[in-house]
Amino acid sequence: MELNLTQQFLTENDCYRAGRTITPKGVMVHSTGVAQPDPEVFIRRWNKPGVEKCVHAFVAEDRVIQTLPWIIRGWHAGTGKRGSANNTHISFECCEPAGHTYRGGEMVDYDVAANQGYFDRLYHNAVLLTALLCRQYALNPLQPGVVLCHAEGYDLGIASQHGDVLHWWPRHGVTMDRFRRDVAEAMLTEGSQEEDEMTQEQFNAMMDVYLAQRGERAPSDWSKPAREWAESVGLVAGDGAGNRRYQSFTTREEAVQMFYRYSQLPPQDTSAPVAEEA
């Protein structure tokens, strides 16, 4: 299903009129926090002066409506230091289905099974929109801090204290890590189907995603003895977070680093096991 994307800019909103621009460094996902699936309702309410919030788009189950130019600074993450994501992230609101209420920030009477179809369609649109933005601005969704929800922004100190979308999406078994992986996959799939000539920046972003995905793959069993030896003598150290990227490619810089470490090993530590397969 292709992305149905239209524009209805909030030209009367003070945020639009301020006209401040940003260089997009990421995408922040929000949800409206009210049982209202029609994005037109929010557009009517927000397209006037005196509204102290403004996002770049609304995502519904059947369409996406862009409400700000992507490079206009939105009002979506809060104010002050706790709202610094306004300066870096494109934002969109996910419209929630009808039929539930809120108590203390938690959904009440939300029927997961009845709303599964709605959620799947909305989620698909959110993935496609984020993939489109990441391709357009050469962003890697798998890099830390690039694709976030409002709750994650709060944890990082760049957004106000909201729980979206972690109060909703996990009810359907969806985490933000899965969302980021789905966005990365959509970038590769949709990018290969684009008829327009790909820019170097778009290619670089897609290549970064591909390399990041390869780096997350588990190593093969046949290399276990060699890997254990290399790690035990400090030849392979990884990135400090336990990721040694055994299924990814080695740069010349990494190669000379490993050669240098090997040259520093005492003689008794240099007897590597013989691998069964190459």
Instruction: Tell me which of 211, 233, 253 is where a domain ends.
Output: 211
* Residues 235 and 139 placed together within one structural domain of the fold: no
Is 274 inside any structural domain?
A: no
pLDDT confidence of residue 270: 45
* Residues 262 and 187 placed together within one structural domain of the fold: no
Instruction: State the burial class of residue 266 (Cβ atoms within 10 Å of its Cβ: 0-12, 13-18, 19+).
Output: exposed
Name every residue whose Cβ is closer than 8 Å to that of residue 171 and which is 6 or more positions away in sequence.
107, 110, 112
Instruction: Tell me which of 186, 211, 236 is where a domain ends.
Output: 211
CATH code where residue 79 lies: 3.40.80.10
pLDDT confidence of residue 276: 54
* Residues 107 and 144 placed together within one structural domain of the fold: yes
Instruction: Tell me which of 175, 191, 211 is where a domain ends.
Output: 211
Task: Tell me the residue type at 207.
Answer: M
Is 19 inside any structural domain?
A: yes
* Residues 205 and 106 placed together within one structural domain of the fold: yes
* Residues 168 and 228 placed together within one structural domain of the fold: no
Q: Considering Cα of 45, then 6, then 36, then 134, what sign does the dihedral take?
A: negative
* Count of Cβ atoms closer than 10 Å to residue 144 Cβ: 10
> How high is the mean pLDDT in each 10-residue block of the chain (278 residues)?
92 95 96 98 98 97 97 95 94 98 95 98 98 95 97 97 97 98 90 56 65 78 90 81 79 87 75 52
* Cα separations in angstroms, 59 against 5, 104, 134, 186, 203: 9, 24, 16, 17, 26
Task: Tell me the residue type at 195.
Answer: E
* Residues 92 and 139 placed together within one structural domain of the fold: yes
Is 276 inside any structural domain?
A: no
CA atoms within 13 Å, Cβ hemisphere of 129: 29
Name every residue whose Cβ is closer than 8 Å to that of residue 125 and which is 6 or more positions away in sequence.
3, 4, 59, 60, 61, 63, 64
* Residues 122 and 255 placed together within one structural domain of the fold: no
Is 29 inside any structural domain?
A: yes
Count of domains observed in the chain: 2
Residue numbers of the domain that contains 261: 221-269
* Residues 189 and 231 placed together within one structural domain of the fold: no
* Residues 62 and 159 placed together within one structural domain of the fold: yes
* Residues 82 and 200 placed together within one structural domain of the fold: yes
Q: How far apart are CA 145 and CA 126, in angstroms?
A: 17
Q: How far apart are CA 147 and CA 29, in angstroms?
A: 8
pLDDT confidence of residue 278: 44
Single pTM value for the model: 0.72
Is 36 inside any structural domain?
A: yes
pLDDT confidence of residue 146: 98
Is 278 inside any structural domain?
A: no
Is 172 inside any structural domain?
A: yes
Is 201 inside any structural domain?
A: yes
Output the DSSP codes for 35-56.
Answer: S---HHHHHHHHSSTT---B-S
* Residues 198 and 109 placed together within one structural domain of the fold: yes
* Residues 202 and 225 placed together within one structural domain of the fold: no
pLDDT confidence of residue 243: 75
